[in-house]
A and B are shown apart, each in its own frame.
Chain A
Amino acid sequence: MKVKQMRFVIALVASLLSLGLQAAERIISADAGVTAVLRALQLEKELVGIDVTSAQLAGTPLPVVGYHRQLATEGLLALKPSLLVGGEHMGPPATLTALEAAGVKVLRLSQAQDGAGLLAGIRQLAAEVATPEQANPVLEQVQQKLTTLQKQALPQHSRALFLLSAGSRGLRAAGVGTGGDSLIRLMGASNVMSYNSYQPISAEAIMAANPDIIFLAADGSKNAMADFLRDYPTLSALKATQEQKIVEVRSETLVAGLSVLTVDEALRLQALLQQQTAKTEQKK
């Protein structure tokens, strides 16, 4: 009888311990979008390492594991992680295999292309690390933001151009499958460029495309918009520039492609553009 009781107590303690262990994951995030979701889920304390792109977002200082496609096996193992989460391009494969062999769970989320994909990614991540009570409010919040974006969609057939500026040394425009493209579509506009990825573009090609709206992403520079208009004076003649439908994008919200950060940025830009429209109409 006594032995049975002892066994029961031991089993109870063991199951409690394992519950405790489950709750305290040690997570390495190799994607800025994942890091943002983990923060929203209030699991920041379980993060033990982040990649370079996550480190660009202000927050608690954590060990930086480098570029998500060049993860170093021993460096990651030294952080004693229980879970590594990242995008579909996380690598190299040898590192991921070695981590799995060492008992670390590896979760690869596919790159979201639209709001539905984004929600699916959050659900997949939450199923791994969070309780439904933690996950549901976050999911609802994101869903709500996506609905707001749809409700306040930019006028139909707005043709938008997303530019990456490298100072006076040239411009690149976002094509299909880029973070810039996702941003444009989130706001209900369509991308004037139909090629793949970011491609170099000349001022003349921009004039020819004649977009209704221009999104300009520039790293760090304070006067990015003024510099841009000074470097490309011809673009002042564009309809978008005349109507002040040219807005600056915080590029750090796009480092991980479409993420919860992008949704917030889309809401901000949408509101900004609507203000501009109201102003222009008042003048008329």
Chain B
Amino acid sequence: MRRLPVFWVALVLSLALLVVAVLSIVTGPMQLPTLASLQTVWDAAIGQNSTALQRHEQTVVLQLRLPRFLLAVLVGALLSQCGVVMQGLFRNPLADPGITGVSTGAALGAVMCIALLPPALAVWLTPLAAFGGGLLATLMVYRFARTAQGTSISMLLLSGVALSAFGGAAIGFLNYSASDRVLRDITLWQMGSLAGASNAHILLGTATVAALAFFFQRHAAALNAMALGEAEARYLGIDVEKLKLLLIVLSAIGVGVAVAAAGIIGFVGLVMPHAVRMLSGPDHRSLLPLSALAGALLLAGADLFARTQVAPAELPVGLVTTLLGAPFFLSLLLRQRSKPDGV
């Protein structure tokens, strides 16, 4: 597959994201006039009030549709960037935030909350427990992998797999003993949803995306060097151990924030980096921002679909990302197979 210039990929992804942004603002179960809806957002941005929408209709645009779109962009960007970093760090195309145990840790934290706490308390503590569980699992896996000679990547992957299996069984046990109501809650939480988008989520998400983008970008060249192999990276003057610890913890924070805000959303972190790599090459300096853009696009598009297809009800967005993303990824793989000089 011929690689496309970074500029064009960036332009196309940005335009597509803009289209999804406009669609997200103007469509929904509620029929609102298109231009007036956009006007409302513009009004809110510059602090005037000239829209033709009524008060409660403005609420729908400004407090339901806009925050959801923004949260989709932030969570998509977070998951996708963390995916790039994990794959780069472990030099393993299958590495995604799930592999270091962070997803399972987060899920276990959340499921324990849902299953064992009274509902009123669980609503508020679930995101916190998810975040804590994810970070704890990552640190445990990292501790297992630390040896006198440095961090062993294979130990890290294997202990991640073991911890994930343990977490999966623990979740299974909680599922088994849960009541119908709790079971349903757990299942839905594991399918992900952006319906809970609030200002707090968006502030936290923006701060995390900005911080992670900054740190990841600073280490983009180092990640390129890691692609040669760990020893080679060391010869190039990179403090590999420090780099690994920093990036693993940052990714865990990124995924933890994403999971806390939206539950488990599969596929974005694993596949969007691959797709971008196939389109515009493996240089982390462009791969990181482009993947963030692509992840944001996929999740925002998926949420638009999830919110409108079975209205007035909603689909879990985590299912939609996979339903939309998997065929797209397979088609990329097919095209790559026919031209073996690709990635």
Contact = CB atoms under 8 A, between A and B. Distances in A.
Interface of A: 49, 52, 63-67, 69-70, 72-79, 89, 91-95, 98, 101-103, 196-200
A65 B313 contact: yes
A101 B64 CA distance: 13
Given A77-B56, A98-B63, A198-B179, A70 B193 contact: yes
B176 A74 contact: no
Contacts of B60: 74, 77
A253 to B, nearest CB: 16
B196 interface: yes
Nearest to B310: A66
B312 A66 contact: yes
A94 B124 CA distance: 11
Contacts of B232: none
Interface stretch (B33-41, B157-165, B180-188): B180-188
Contacts of B307: 72, 74
B119 interface: yes
A67 B180 CA distance: 13
> Interface on chain A toward B: helix, strand, loop, or mixed SS?
mixed
A102 B58 CA distance: 11
B198 interface: yes
B30 interface: yes
Contacts of B59: 98, 101-102
Nearest to B316: A70
Given A74-B64, A93-B123, 15 more contacts: A67-B313, A69-B181, A69-B188, A70-B188, A70-B193, A72-B29, A73-B64, A74-B65, A75-B313, A89-B119, A92-B196, A94-B195, A98-B59, A101-B59, A196-B179
What are the 10 tightest A-B residue pairs by CB atom distance, in nearest-first order?
A66-B313, A75-B312, A78-B29, A197-B179, A78-B30, A72-B314, A75-B29, A102-B56, A65-B312, A74-B64
B311 interface: yes
B28 interface: yes
B179 A78 contact: no
Of listed A64, A78, A92, A101, residue having the most chain B CB within 10 A:
A78
A174 to B, nearest CB: 11
Nearest to B30: A78
Given A66-B313, A78-B31, A94 B198 contact: yes
A77 B314 CA distance: 13
28 contacts: A52-B313, A64-B312, A65-B312, A66-B312, A66-B313, A67-B184, A67-B313, A69-B184, A70-B188, A70-B195, A72-B195, A72-B312, A74-B30, A74-B64, A74-B65, A75-B311, A75-B312, A75-B313, A77-B30, A77-B60, A78-B31, A92-B123, A92-B196, A94-B195, A94-B196, A101-B59, A198-B179, A200-B176
B279 to A, nearest CB: 34
Contacts of B193: 70
Nearest to A88: B119
A74 B123 contact: no
B297 to A, nearest CB: 22
A191 B64 CA distance: 46
Contacts of B123: 91-93
Contact of B195 (A49, A63, A77, A92): A92
Contacts of B56: 77, 102-103
Contacts of A73: 64, 195
Contacts of A92: 123, 195-196
Contacts of B30: 74, 77-78
Interface in B195-215: 195-196, 198
B242 to A, nearest CB: 41
A1 to B, nearest CB: 38
Interface string B1-43: 0000000000000000000000000001111000000000000
B64 A98 contact: yes
Interface string B307-328: 1001111100000000000000
